[in-house]
Structure 1
């Protein structure tokens, strides 16, 4: 009985041991060559919370990385992934992000790839709703936090120490880091002047390094397996059309899909909130995106991109003005965000495609906060103009 009980455990341990000691270069041979192209629109967190696939993508001039959050999943014929597939302009957008991918998440990602970002053009889509007064909450941070990127930051000696210190101080406020004894010990040793904290960090550092190697190997095995893909609405209808033709078609599609409300919200989304609509009237009085911890986190993004030598284009997405007016969210609470984020980006010398004047443009937004239909047409043009600039 004992032999029968322990044999599977011994076999499992040996299997795990073998998988860990196999050299990374051997594992990489089994990763399909098409994995990067498959991951470009998959929006699979296993791919962008790791580093292998993104490293390969950033080294390949055929890809234009596009970072953002939940708007990236609003895939329709006007979405950049479809538009530039049907109107190939020398690049394929590679989507990185999902709902809750706020500035700190993107900072960790960029810090992971500073060398590969040098001279790389990229697009970064901003969402006003990130800029809540208290910044990101756990419900957004936890599912998007990459343990591998967290550990790699601990061993990253390439980024500016001042930027790293500010980032660590912010990260230590989040429970996943606090609960990770090894990582939090190293982080505290990094920013503390207390010799005891530094001694503790030095003690756990070898163990953390071994764990980090395991996480790296795990990322390679995930890269072999791939993962689920998001469904895409691929359509050749956008091929070889002028921008005005595309805007008109986007208007027509919006009219067909947003018919049951006065906010120009797609029917499917409105159906999920219509029972609450009366309760939400004037529920956001006094709210503002003008003051938020998120601006400090976003500065970390700007700092690491500046240090890496990346060439970003920032997309400033508006909110649905009609809906925000209905909920009582003050106009000033939105315009203060648009102005502040624009000034913050331009002060670093970076371009911004500012669409804040489209709050009331019918069918620019697909729902209350996500860009869609006509909005994507404007974004496509901004991306094309940016990419073609030397």
Structure 2
């Protein structure tokens, strides 16, 4: 093989990469089909969560009601908001943002990218008790959900409150992907330090940070152009034009058909995965509590940012499976302390909360040990409908 033929593929690849980088963003945006936004509404694609373009377009469109949460968003059934509001249109389409491990600091980074678009925007935020472990978010949840683009956007964002930004940076510097990014940490440390040399290094690093963020933004556009992987969504008309009493009854029947092999009313397919371990799990959570956690600090960052941006959120407080938690020895007080504290924290900022904590033992309210299910989604659907259609609910909690 000649030297020329050896290096030709490398040269060609470099030229293609250079071309992809220098193409103006506006050209790429024109190629992204409008249908990509509606496709992403139920796709639960991590590329969209960690990007900016798709969510920006969604927030600009009044047809969408963004719903932020974690793994419960993927627990699909006939009563899930994506299906319920498809069959019972009410002027909006739920747009799902989140997956397992999408805890408060991840959502904070996401919101920080869109503060100007959040002004006056209604949104739904589903809280999970299991986020509130004593030490808060760990690397196993943070790493897969962290977005470098969002990290750099925060670093270069001079529009959000300085104190909120500094608090978030201090928290982010606890995580390996942030600490290992020398360019990003240089800028972050410049925000926190009073040392003139540290600040000078941050100033020198900013042009490089802008350039790198530009590459990340272009990467996001190309991902948006290509699109994600379509997910099979359970679509059924069984919930169409039925009142809430009928829906609760049908949700109970559906749960009773799918949770038949255990005393905890966990869906059979999930219980089968843990059945062999169940005897060893009895009482293993004695002394546990969700009442004290670093996560409350992270969640306050979310509240502060949403309040500053002028957003209109509804928070959904999801219970745990009471029968299962009792079996594992997780104290009742360790759960109720969470429900009380999170409600007070939200109401202190003037935001409404749909508090479902009294449904721990409600049959088929939960689909498994921690995720909301059949009947639970019916209650969530009603809370969302009431919230969307009543502007006064932004000033009080929904009574359930």
TM bin, normalised by shorter chain, reads over 0.9
- Give the aligned partner of residue 192 of structure 2: 191
- Give the aligned partner of residue 115 of structure 1: 116
Report the 3-state secondary structure (helix = DSSP H, G, I; strand = E; otherwise coil) of the residue aligned with 1:299: helix
Report the 3-state secondary structure (helix = DSSP H, G, I; strand = E; otherwise coil) of the residue aligned with 2:380: helix
- Give the aligned partner of residue 296 of structure 1: 297
- Give the aligned partner of residue 172 of structure 1: 173
Structure 2 residue 247 is matched with structure 1 residue 246 = yes
Deviation at 1:47, TM superposition (A): 1.1
Rounded Cα–Cα distance in structure 1 between residues aligned with 2:233 and 2:318: 22
- Give the aligned partner of residue 218 of structure 1: 219
- Give the aligned partner of residue 65 of structure 2: 64
Q: State the Cα deviation string for residues 132-171 of structure 1 (Å, max 9, x = none).
A: 0000000100000011000000000111000000000000
Contact 1:43–1:229 (Cα < 8 Å) also in 2: no
Rounded Cα–Cα distance in structure 1 between residues aligned with 2:230 and 2:126: 21
Rounded Cα–Cα distance in structure 1 between residues aligned with 2:6 and 2:359: 66
Rounded Cα–Cα distance in structure 1 between residues aligned with 2:331 and 2:56: 42
Report the 3-state secondary structure (helix = DSSP H, G, I; strand = E; otherwise coil) of the residue aligned with 1:76: coil
Report the 3-state secondary structure (helix = DSSP H, G, I; strand = E; otherwise coil) of the residue aligned with 1:99: coil
Rounded Cα–Cα distance in structure 2 between residues aligned with 1:2 and 1:46: 39
Rounded Cα–Cα distance in structure 1 between residues aligned with 2:48 and 2:64: 15
- Give the aligned partner of residue 361 of structure 2: 360
- Give the aligned partner of residue 101 of structure 1: 102
Unaligned runs of 5+ in 2: 392-400
Rounded Cα–Cα distance in structure 1 between residues aligned with 2:345 and 2:170: 22
Q: Equivalences for 1:270-309 in 2 at 5 Å?
A: 270-309=271-310
Q: Equivalences for 1:373-388 in 2 at 5 Å?
A: 373-388=374-389
Unaligned runs of 5+ in 1: none
Rounded Cα–Cα distance in structure 2 between residues aligned with 1:4 and 1:389: 69
Rounded Cα–Cα distance in structure 1 between residues aligned with 2:321 and 2:89: 31
Q: Equivalences for 1:66-105 in 2 at 5 Å?
A: 66-105=67-106
- Give the aligned partner of residue 19 of structure 1: 20
- Give the aligned partner of residue 234 of structure 1: 235
- TM-score, length-scaled by structure 2: 0.97
Report the 3-state secondary structure (helix = DSSP H, G, I; strand = E; otherwise coil) of the residue aligned with 1:383: helix
Q: Equivalences for 1:139-158 in 2 at 5 Å?
A: 139-158=140-159
Rounded Cα–Cα distance in structure 2 between residues aligned with 1:239 and 1:319: 28
Report the 3-state secondary structure (helix = DSSP H, G, I; strand = E; otherwise coil) of the residue aligned with 2:314: strand
- Give the aligned partner of residue 345 of structure 1: 346
Deviation at 1:60, TM superposition (A): 0.4
Rounded Cα–Cα distance in structure 2 between residues aligned with 1:119 and 1:95: 19
Structure 2 residue 295 is matched with structure 1 residue 260 = no
4+ runs deviating over 2 angstroms: none
Q: State the Cα deviation string for residues 317-336 of structure 1 (Å, max 9, x = none).
A: 00000000000000000000
Deviation at 1:339, TM superposition (A): 0.1
Contact 1:40–1:95 (Cα < 8 Å) also in 2: yes
Deviation at 1:230, TM superposition (A): 2.4
Report the 3-state secondary structure (helix = DSSP H, G, I; strand = E; otherwise coil) of the residue aligned with 1:315: strand
Q: State the Cα deviation string for residues 332-357 of structure 1 (Å, max 9, x = none).
A: 00000000000000000000000000
Report the 3-state secondary structure (helix = DSSP H, G, I; strand = E; otherwise coil) of the residue aligned with 2:286: coil
Deviation at 1:205, TM superposition (A): 1.4
- Give the aligned partner of residue 327 of structure 1: 328
Deviation at 1:229, TM superposition (A): 2.3
Report the 3-state secondary structure (helix = DSSP H, G, I; strand = E; otherwise coil) of the residue aligned with 1:274: helix
- Give the aligned partner of residue 51 of structure 2: 50
Report the 3-state secondary structure (helix = DSSP H, G, I; strand = E; otherwise coil) of the residue aligned with 2:313: strand
What is the aligned length?
A: 390
- Give the aligned partner of residue 124 of structure 1: 125
